[in-house]
Structure 1
Amino acid sequence: MSNAAPAGRAVFSGVEASGSVPIEYRFSHAKNGNRHLLVVFANLGAPGEWGWANGVLDKTRANILWIRDQFDGQNSYYLCKGMDFSLERSVIELISRVMNALSLTPDDCTMFGSSKGGTAALYFGLKYGFRNVVASVPQFRVGTYVKESMPGAARLMMGEVTDEKVHILDSVLPNVVGSGTYRDANIYLISSPQDEQYTRHVEPFLGLFQGYTNFNFVYNDSPLIASHGKVTLRNLPTIMGLLNLLVDGITPRIGVVSNGQEQPECDTSAIDSYLSSTSQMRGDRFPAPVVSTPVPHQEVPGNAVRFVGSAPGAVRISLWENGKYLGSSQVLPDGSWSWAPDRTWAEGKHVIRLFAVDANKFHSARTEAVFTVQAQSSPSAGPHAASGGQLPVQQTAGPSAPAPVISVPAPGQQVPGPVIGLMGYAQGAVHVEFAEEGMPLGMAPVAPDSSWSWESGWSWTEGPHTVECHAVDMGGNKSQRTAVTFSVVNAYASPAPAQHLAPGY
């Protein structure tokens, strides 16, 4: 599937599923046939877990491969699930397949990322022999960092979190750097003493780079840098300059360099074939979702819009209108799904496009739901004011479901970030829906014992948050809202509203 980037750069999305772990990716062809591949790993708090995918790389002249860091709703540093490093092998398989489809070698590639993406860039670049690495503010002690600051990622990566597993993950990057297998790699490491992670996660490991023929350390000692997340932004011009120099074959060192290796008329059939074979849209694998409510061209009140349907073989439904993400719904084991947005819809015709997503993150073909929101009747209109003198249909609401109970977090609790989870009970409900400041966050199914639990899957900003939730019963009736206010602490995340971006977009 191709999406036009804001600056007109076409972006293809796909899933590499040949390995044991399906890996989601995005790819953009180089301008003018440039013979280079830039691999981008996601940073902490990246919207949708796609790093540097907001258009900042549009002017980079290379082919670009973005790799998503989201597995079971958590980050992984592209390394492991339950200490099984098959995930890492699946990631390098994706990179290798794209590189080979472009007829490139590791000497024609640059690994790039910041924060946890910087860790991944160093790890994959030096372990697998890629020529160039640009890493901004990485964490070397991966196990310690996820244990202290990313509990969701720690559980995903380690399963049961133990000191032994923390030690193993703390050693993976130092061991790769210290081995010195590829000492002629061009390495550009960026950090700052103003970065709160510098003294624990960077400075103690700088000595490991002794003996590398072209190791460069950009040390930005600026009082204008206030935190970990600001180091990369402060060095953005340097980073973009470095990337384009490396793409052109120029490494900032004394010696003979070459550039201008474009091939505007080069054969792209191999990479086009790969993109097609791994496309995220797989309408042939499972059917498009069926929408039973609303029926086509039905007229419905603006405050009573509800979608019901079926999607056998899927785990989630994603809904869009005019290119804007509306929300998603989990698919129950029997294939049924429902979604009732807590909003009043504007009058007139609406065309909703939706697709199903299976457990391997592939997308079905699109389905359209077309309906019309009725004009609100005038308060002074009599019972025969409807067209033709007919009586209007009376909408009878069913009884409300009981309001849900939120047991975790407690009101006023300080919750370790960056990923937040909620738990509670909802008697007689089938699912619970969550929102913050009127913006939908997600939903969670209710178990037979009336319990529910929900984990966001994205990084929350530090500070106070008020999450509201309501229960929905089998008849689609919504309960009164329940709210809890808590504070997120120890979250190193950007304020980007990642929770409102659909996976894969």
Structure 2
Amino acid sequence: MSDAAAKGRPTVQGIDTSGPCPVEYRFAHARNGNRHLTVVFANIFAPDDYGWATGVFNSLRSNILWIRDLFDGQNTYYLCKGMDFSVERSVIGLISKVMTSLGLSPGDVTLWGSSKGGSAALYFGLRYGFRNIVASVPQLRIGTFVRDVYPQVGRHMLGETMPDDNVGVLDAVLPDLLTSGVNPEANIYMVSSPQDEQYSTQVEPFLGLLQRYRNFNFVFSESPFITGHGKVTQRNTPPLLGIAYLLVEGIAPRLGLTRHGYEEPDADKSGIEAYLKSTSVVQESFAAPVVTLPEARAVLPPEAVRFAGYAPGAVRVSIWQNGKYLASAPVGADGGWVWDRGSQWNTGEHMVRLFAVDPNGYQSERTDVRFTVARYVTVRT
């Protein structure tokens, strides 16, 4: 076991060797004593074969267990290699030990994953009675998918020749669980999209079985920003995290069947732009302040920098440098204003930005003043 550097959240990295296959994991302790465990399964091409490990869960209050899907150098859907399901037994052994060590029950656990990880979350959640399952764009006919789409993974899981009988066995593992109605109290949250090329074969045929579950929640995302399977979860990360934050607090939302994602990236913005322009704090009719001192591009000694000018209609002139507020200079009845910093300026080039503010709080356009401060400058009198 060793400490692993995490993006913003300390983790412990280890290997559980109590089962037939060594299982690599990362673990982060809960925040503020939260009594929940989130188990994260990896999608294909996840960095280091750990899913959702890029810092997205940094603020999630639960304990987090990331499980690596790398067994004999290849992915396994956390199930099998060469149809030997010792991988599955080792993975559930790890989850059970962590859960028990925390003094938690399956009702205190959320299984989480997308794509391959979503399939694993659904499988382990249903078969082993975990309360919460979050599965984004899972594959429910695993055998066919790995044979046709990822044959390297398919040969590792199904055997070198990927025989049809073995494909059929893996194709059936999830549909058989759904047909049996196992774990009927599970809270299931699934995300998919018609823009996902896998939807019609891997998700849609099984929606009827999923809808038998009392708290099955299906987020059907129809966003123009989704261009394929890999973009569905990316587009839906905010709502997925919203679900996660509720689950770790013991709140299981009931969303039912929902559709969303009707963005309009090319929408006509002329109406709102016209409104904003007419009510903006920056008013085109309100003149920018005029600066008479210092003169443009003046070279001045550190102690002789003085600002002056006029801003008719304004009550003050606001003065900024490099995004930092310096001061406000009151404007007299005649429109004139002056400001002296009261301390020496650093040598070098300076750019100061000013704007006027009227009695209603409206701001003018900006005026930029550029000057240079040098130590040995003769000031003419």
What does residue 248 of structure 2 align with?
247
2:74 is aligned with 1:112 = no
2:185 is aligned with 1:184 = yes
What does residue 73 of structure 1 align with?
73
What does residue 432 of structure 1 align with?
none
The structure-2 alpha-carbon separation of the partners of 1:163 and 1:241, relative to structure 1 and needing over 3 Å to count, comes to same
How many residue pairs get aligned? The number is 253
What does residue 215 of structure 1 align with?
216
List per-residue Cα deviations over 1:293-327 (Å, max 9, x = no partner): xxxxxxxxxxxxxxxxxxxxxxxxxxxxxxxxxxx
What does residue 94 of structure 1 align with?
94
Distance in 2, Cα, partners of 1:4 & 1:87: 27
Q: Cα distance, 1:61 vs. partner?
A: 0.7
Q: Give the letter for the 1:222 counterpart.
A: S
The secondary structure found in structure 1 opposite 2:14 is strand
Q: How does 1:102-501 map to 2 (within 5 A)?
A: 102-160=102-160, 161-253=162-254
What does residue 286 of structure 1 align with?
none
Q: Cα distance, 1:65 vs. partner?
A: 0.2
List per-residue Cα deviations over 1:11-41 (Å, max 9, x = no partner): 1011110110111000000111110000000
The secondary structure found in structure 1 opposite 2:66 is strand
Distance in 2, Cα, partners of 1:28 & 1:207: 37
The secondary structure found in structure 2 opposite 1:189 is strand
Distance in 2, Cα, partners of 1:210 & 1:112: 19
What does residue 57 of structure 1 align with?
57
Q: Kindly name which structure, 1 or 2, has the bigger radius of gyration based on alpha carbons.
A: 2
Q: Give the letter for the 2:90 counterpart.
A: S
RMSD: 1.0
Q: Give the letter for the 1:125 counterpart.
A: G
Q: Give the letter for the 1:180 counterpart.
A: G
Distance in 2, Cα, partners of 1:132 & 1:43: 19
What does residue 42 of structure 2 align with?
42
Q: Cα distance, 1:99 vs. partner?
A: 0.1
List per-residue Cα deviations over 1:260-288 (Å, max 9, x = no partner): xxxxxxxxxxxxxxxxxxxxxxxxxxxxx
TM-score normalized with structure 2 length: 0.65
Contact residue 43 and residue 114 of structure 2 kept, 8 A: yes
Distance in 2, Cα, partners of 1:156 & 1:10: 33
Contact residue 75 and residue 153 of structure 2 kept, 8 A: yes
What does residue 24 of structure 1 align with?
24
Q: Cα distance, 1:210 vs. partner?
A: 3.1
The secondary structure found in structure 1 opposite 2:27 is strand
Distance in 1, Cα, partners of 2:5 & 2:217: 36
Distance in 2, Cα, partners of 1:54 & 1:223: 25
Distance in 2, Cα, partners of 1:130 & 1:32: 23
What does residue 368 of structure 1 align with?
none
Distance in 2, Cα, partners of 1:67 & 1:140: 20
What does residue 449 of structure 1 align with?
none
List per-residue Cα deviations over 1:103-147 (Å, max 9, x = no partner): 000000000000000000000001000000000000011001110
List per-residue Cα deviations over 1:191-219 (Å, max 9, x = no partner): 00000100010001111113211000000
The secondary structure found in structure 1 opposite 2:55 is coil
TM-score normalized with structure 1 length: 0.49
The secondary structure found in structure 1 opposite 2:19 is coil
Q: Cα distance, 1:222 vs. partner?
A: 1.4
The secondary structure found in structure 1 opposite 2:32 is helix
Distance in 2, Cα, partners of 1:65 & 1:6: 15
Q: Cα distance, 1:6 vs. partner?
A: 2.4
Gap runs ≥5 in structure 1: 255-505
What does residue 10 of structure 2 align with?
10
The secondary structure found in structure 2 opposite 1:24 is strand
List per-residue Cα deviations over 1:361-387 (Å, max 9, x = no partner): xxxxxxxxxxxxxxxxxxxxxxxxxxx
Q: Give the letter for the 2:176 counterpart.
A: N
Q: Give the letter for the 1:6 counterpart.
A: K
Percent identity reads 62
What does residue 439 of structure 1 align with?
none
Contact residue 196 and residue 229 of structure 2 kept, 8 A: yes
Distance in 1, Cα, partners of 2:230 & 2:33: 34
Distance in 1, Cα, partners of 2:114 & 2:254: 23
Contact residue 217 and residue 254 of structure 2 kept, 8 A: no
The secondary structure found in structure 2 opposite 1:218 is strand
Distance in 1, Cα, partners of 2:254 & 2:157: 38
Q: Cα distance, 1:44 vs. partner?
A: 1.4
Q: Give the letter for the 2:117 counterpart.
A: G
Distance in 2, Cα, partners of 1:78 & 1:61: 26
Distance in 2, Cα, partners of 1:211 & 1:45: 32
List per-residue Cα deviations over 1:304-362 (Å, max 9, x = no partner): xxxxxxxxxxxxxxxxxxxxxxxxxxxxxxxxxxxxxxxxxxxxxxxxxxxxxxxxxxx
Q: Give the letter for the 1:2 counterpart.
A: D
Distance in 1, Cα, partners of 2:211 & 2:29: 36
List per-residue Cα deviations over 1:167-211 (Å, max 9, x = no partner): 111011111122112111100010000001000100011111132
Q: Cα distance, 1:149 vs. partner?
A: 1.3
Structure of greater relative contact order (alpha carbons < 8 Å, 6+ residues apart):
1
Runs of 4+ in structure 1 over 4 Å off: none
